[in-house]
Structure 1
Amino acid sequence: MSGSQIPRSNPDRVSSPTSSKSVTQTVNGSHQFVIQGYRLAKGMGVGKHIASDNFSVGGYQWGIFFYPDGKNPEDNSAYVSVFVALASEGTEVRALFELALVDQSGKGNHKVHSHFERSLDSGPYTLKYKGSMWGYKRFYRRTQLETSDFLKDDCLIINCTVGVVVSEVQCPRLHSIRVPDSELGSHFGVLLDSMEGSDVTFDIAGEKFQAHKLVLAARSPFFKSKFFNEPEANNREVTINNLEPKVFKALLQFMYKDSLPEDVEPVTAHTFDLLKLPEIYETLIVKLLAAADRYNLNRLRLLCESHICKGVSVKSVAKILALADRYKATELKDVCLKFTAENLAAVLETDAYQQLKDECLSLQSELLKAVAGYEEASNSTGGAKSQSVWAQLSDGGGDTSSRHVRQRTT
């Protein structure tokens, strides 16, 4: 073969044809927004709204905005307005939406505005930035709403469905390998149960616990320093005072398994309502929170804060705020301050708040800031409102006969 000749391809060696497919579809999710106390929300002003909690669909955050007096000043409060808004930062989203006012008579005659299951000339709606909205300024005439089956016991129910448009290219995969979930926690759990290879024994109020220095040092800066930087680092037995055996056992279970132990008490919205603060300090979850603070276990601290947070209520929030402040539980403390600001009048009536006011004076300024921030976010007036709030915080607020739990508004 000369150098100028190009070799012919082998007709017996033909590449297999390939293929791919672009699939565009929606990731759907729904949220129900219950508005209790509709008649109290009336009169808040045109353009003022009540917002739902944020909810997640398709990897984005969304919120429902209800305007009792309407969003459009030109309508002179003749209509209620309802919108769904993008609550995620710095992104552009294409989506389909449905807003439905629920017929509470059971007849199923819901008021529905929907993109789904109908032709869209211009395609899905595009929201280009946080705060972008889709909805209806004239969602329903207010006089008709107030005599309809949509309003029952002063309550409205709005169902919202969001369908986020996503596209992906699919291509066939001839082979795949499934990777199982991590078994690290279960393996370390076996190590905790068997204590094979343990090299340190803890004496906790006379009860012995075996452990592995490397495991504890990897989990806690306190134990890392104790086992490798202090003079008694080579000691095979360590005595810890001021800690109950059941708390240390739970502490070990977290450090080996990375989860709260099963014997931690379940917490509901009313778990702490009837307990006095000293009794709350005696619960295992709060003692674990104290241990997390003592041994610098940040993840355990957050797990405990999240667990205790389930018990925040009007009657308990002042007590939980006090313990959060004591154990540097910043996330839990922020939740308590925000909850108190949102429900200030009702919280001020509680005995727990009066005790907090007398015993934790340092929290008063933080609470005032939280209330002021909440009022500002609620588009309240400035100086006069702040003075009124300060009076309530400083002396209990005078007449409390008309206090009630406030709806969250923004």
Structure 2
Amino acid sequence: MSGLVEFDYQSTSSLPDDYAVFSDVVSAGGHDWRVTCFPNDSDFAALYLELMSEAQNVTAVFEAAYFVDNENELMRRRIVHVFNLPIDDGEFPMWGFPRFIHQSDLALVAATSSHISIMWAVVVVDDDGSGEPVSIRSIADVPQLPWLTRKKRTIPVPPSDMADHLCRMLDSAALTDVSFVMNDGHGGQAPPMRAHRAILAARSPAFEAALCGQLLEANAHITVTDMDIDTFKAMLRFIYTDDLPTGLDDDKAIRSLLAAADKYGLDRLKLLCAKRMLDKMSVGTVPGVLDCAETYNCPELKTKCIDYVVDGENFKKVALTEGFMELLARSPSILAEVRKRLAI
């Protein structure tokens, strides 16, 4: 048998600690039961199951749970107890959870809905006719109460595959309206790379200015001379997928892509490249990585590089490298930052 204990958090939060809220009385296993809740009991709301009729050696399973918005389970408790005759002063025996849910959790939920509903269930475990309590070694021995096996009203939603669709559009050149012409790296001209100006403009402020700031004819051809073809292809694929191309491990290629990301205003791409460079950084490569961070305005990477340089024994090793000395000679700001961090 199951039921509800309901109260208004805002109305009860200022009441005394011994203020109680009662559920309706229900019948289970030939006995009457109700649940008593003390919403303001110290730091926790307390919840107890009461046996409301005279009985001896009644073994009951008591479960209670609180759900947010009738869906997400916030708190669930389960207990098995043997109830006996009422005590001398006429009060009925009760057993349960003095620390059912913390007041801070109640307050957090009540910020959106002051109405609190606690669902509960009681099942009386059948005895064997001997008059002795039913032997239950642990709560795990008691079958799961079916009322708490909730089925959410939901429909599974697959992960987004928008990047896959956009990538296929890029590869197939379907509906493209702009072409990029570049050198193939061997003295000749590579086949034009076709793209969609709306996607480019939406993703990059530099492309937005170039493609929307002037009237371009349909299927316009734009010559690119400020980067190599592999870097441009990698940047284009990021624009369509929001991720680094697979197999991009060469240090020089990553630095070139970071430079392109800085020029075209692709902040996420710049940080992805910075993370890749940082993951591979060593004493020998930190001068070049730090130089790249300074040149292409990546303060996050610059800070991590300087952290590495001044950490423990690293400075003695890095300072002996020719690349680091050359970097300090042409970059006074890096020299000043290192000296400040080292307090020299």
Q: Counterpart of 1:358 in structure 2: which amino acid?
A: A
Alignment of 1:99-178 (within 5 A): 172-173=150-151, 175-178=153-156
Higher Cα Rg, which structure = 2
Check the 8 A contact 1:227/1:234 in 2, yes or no: no
Structure 2 equivalent of residue 251 of structure 1: 235
Residue 314 of structure 1 aligns to a residue whose secondary structure is coil
Residue 223 of structure 2 aligns to a residue whose secondary structure is strand
**Cα distance in 1 between the residues matched to 2:206 and 2:64:** 55
Structure 2 equivalent of residue 347 of structure 1: 318
CA offset at residue 263 of structure 1? Answer: 3.2
Residue 249 of structure 1 aligns to a residue whose secondary structure is helix
Residue 310 of structure 2 aligns to a residue whose secondary structure is helix
In the alignment, which of 169, 190, 193 is matched to residue 171 of structure 2? Answer: 193
**Cα distance in 2 between the residues matched to 1:174 and 1:250:** 43
Deviations 1:279-317 (A, max 9, x none): x6xx11111001001111111101110111112222221
Q: Counterpart of 2:317 in structure 1: which amino acid?
A: A
Deviations 1:232-256 (A, max 9, x none): 4767111111221111111111001
Check the 8 A contact 2:182/2:224 in 1, yes or no: yes
Residue 237 of structure 1 aligns to a residue whose secondary structure is strand
2:288 is aligned with 1:319 = yes
Structure 2 equivalent of residue 361 of structure 1: 332
In the alignment, which of 245, 250, 256 is matched to residue 261 of structure 1? Answer: 245
Distance change in 2, residues 1:313/1:23 (3 Å): farther
**Cα distance in 1 between the residues matched to 2:333 and 2:216:** 39
Structure 2 equivalent of residue 238 of structure 1: 222
**Cα distance in 1 between the residues matched to 2:231 and 2:269:** 13
**Cα distance in 2 between the residues matched to 1:211 and 1:311:** 32
**Cα distance in 2 between the residues matched to 1:174 and 1:287:** 49
Residue 296 of structure 1 aligns to a residue whose secondary structure is coil
Alignment of 1:281-360 (within 5 A): 283-342=252-311, 343-360=314-331
Unmatched 5+ stretches in structure 2: 1-62, 66-74, 78-98, 100-147, 184-188
TM-score, length-normalised on structure 1?
Answer: 0.45
Check the 8 A contact 2:178/2:218 in 1, yes or no: no
**Cα distance in 1 between the residues matched to 2:169 and 2:64:** 48
Distance change in 2, residues 1:174/1:262 (3 Å): closer
Q: Counterpart of 2:76 in structure 1: which amino acid?
A: V
Distance change in 2, residues 1:20/1:193 (3 Å): farther
Distance change in 2, residues 1:370/1:184 (3 Å): farther
Structure 2 equivalent of residue 213 of structure 1: 197
Residue 289 of structure 1 aligns to a residue whose secondary structure is helix
The percentage of aligned residue pairs carrying the same residue is: 32
Unmatched 5+ stretches in structure 1: 1-18, 25-121, 123-169, 267-279, 372-385, 390-410
Structure 1 equivalent of residue 120 of structure 2: none
Distance change in 2, residues 1:234/1:369 (3 Å): farther
Structure 2 equivalent of residue 48 of structure 1: none
CA offset at residue 351 of structure 1? Answer: 2.5
TM-score, length-normalised on structure 2?
Answer: 0.53
Check the 8 A contact 1:227/1:233 in 2, yes or no: no
Give aligned pairs, total: 197
2:76 is aligned with 1:23 = yes
Deviations 1:42-91 (A, max 9, x none): xxxxxxxxxxxxxxxxxxxxxxxxxxxxxxxxxxxxxxxxxxxxxxxxxx
Structure 1 equivalent of residue 12 of structure 2: none
Residue 210 of structure 1 aligns to a residue whose secondary structure is strand
Residue 251 of structure 1 aligns to a residue whose secondary structure is helix
Check the 8 A contact 1:293/1:327 in 2, yes or no: yes
**Cα distance in 1 between the residues matched to 2:304 and 2:214:** 38
CA offset at residue 172 of structure 1? Answer: 0.9
Q: Which has the higher contact order (CA 8 A, sep 6+)?
A: 1
Q: Counterpart of 1:240 in structure 2: which amino acid?
A: V
Residue 180 of structure 1 aligns to a residue whose secondary structure is coil
Q: Counterpart of 1:346 in structure 2: which amino acid?
A: K
